A and B are shown apart, each in its own frame.
Chain A
């Protein structure tokens, strides 16, 4: 009996969250489409998300590219297919690893800070204060973050793609002894626009998810420092899981047809 009650409570809690999240998302998108927007705030967020995430994302990308080259080389040597290294690197990076790894890193960095900032504003009544000053908290806080996430993640991922492929090139040429010209050629010849574009579309979706989870969890946080802490954790965990799930769905949509 108790066990059933527990299941019931968990399911109900989940449905409440889902409902609130749906309303939150709808409201946020509605405000994205209606002026006024705050270009100044959008710019600030874009710098925060895009520019300041570059080092983390760049490092992640270069080592992923390098390890990919190394692994695929040792693996493919068993089938004497070493020449496929460049192709494997560029495909893996642009289609999957670039967007997913950048998304996860940014979820940790940006999702957490959004949830913490907005959560603190919630528990210290700053969000209430906003609305008493004739400023809609959605427009002022949520919309700039959503738009910045949506716009900046593709850019970041594009940079990550380039850096990741460059990492593969470094290992390929300097460690595995590929001819530089051949390596570059087989990279460029092999990659198709859809590989890159699908990755960038994924990135935009991930950027939206990260900002949405950060804002949603922050906005609905309660109960002081502990509540803000929980909001931060939830933002990162839920964004990461959603990124992995939507990544699979998007891959299906793009490539399984």
Chain B
């Protein structure tokens, strides 16, 4: 979906205004502004440790922003931790960067967790749904009975993805969905994310270091640098953004305005 002026004026699904977050005297987010329209897919790129995951966690209510406003469907949730968000929390699905699977439960129960605990679906029905969802991320039904520790890293990531989308959330956050996957599986996941956005109308906010994936799944791309979004634009224009920082990042050059903190 190309974002036009008209659907930006409607209530954004997610509205992030001047959000700041520091850990001690370390300022991670320094005033982030970003609106995500319904059924839009926005990809955030940026160097390691620049606060991408922290931003998602602030929106989810796992972390609380120090200042600024975060609205979901127009409702201010800035200072409500996710445990107290009730129905707003139900709108979200989250793929964690480290998968964060429950290692005391078998894989299928991980995927069905939101259905069983959140929606009180009977276990049998939830298991069927879980196995369907596992199939979408390329995992066989037999994987459902393993425990997360018996899976490879890439398989864990895909289970995390299945868990994030199993409850049919309205908004899904993907924190590095293709990291650790082989190129073919990465593209399967890209297609899956696109299908979620296009067919189900899910609003997606993704983080990735994989530029191929970013171009493919994103309607828009936003680049974070030193706690601010220094560039937000159509995914198609990312290769000729005219911004030196974006250029350097997209082309993966060590030389440029972004200096890595290395000792020579």
A binds B: yes
A residues near B (Cβ < 8 Å) are: 117, 120-121, 124-126, 128-138, 140
> Which chain A positions have C-beta within 8 A of B93?
132
Kindly provide the distance from the CB of A122 to the nearest chain B CB, expressed in whole angstroms: 11
Q: List 29 A-B contacts (CB under 8 A).
A: A117-B104, A120-B103, A121-B102, A124-B100, A125-B96, A125-B98, A126-B102, A128-B62, A129-B94, A129-B101, A129-B102, A131-B61, A131-B81, A131-B89, A132-B62, A132-B82, A132-B92, A132-B94, A133-B113, A133-B117, A133-B118, A133-B167, A134-B89, A134-B90, A134-B117, A135-B113, A135-B117, A138-B83, A140-B117
B residues near A (Cβ < 8 Å) are: 57, 60-62, 81-83, 89-90, 92-94, 96, 98, 100-104, 113-114, 117-118, 163, 167
> Which chain A positions have C-beta within 8 A of B62?
128, 131-132
Kindly provide the distance from the CB of A27 to the nearest chain B CB, expressed in whole angstroms: 10
Which chain B residue shows the least CB distance to A44? B104
How far, in angstroms, from A140 to B96 measured CA to CA in the complex?
20
> Which chain A positions have C-beta within 8 A of B103?
120, 124, 126
Kindly provide the distance from the CB of A186 to the nearest chain B CB, expressed in whole angstroms: 49
Number of A-B contacts (CB under 8 A): 57
How far, in angstroms, from A21 to B29 measured CA to CA in the complex?
30
> Which chain B positions have C-beta within 8 A of A130?
102
How far, in angstroms, from A117 to B102 measured CA to CA in the complex?
11
> Which chain A positions have C-beta within 8 A of B92?
132
List of 3 A-B pairs having minimum Cβ-Cβ separation, nearest first: A134-B118, A125-B100, A133-B114
> Which chain B positions have C-beta within 8 A of A129?
94, 96, 100-102, 163
> Which chain A positions have C-beta within 8 A of B83?
131, 136-138
How far, in angstroms, from A130 to B103 measured CA to CA in the complex?
12
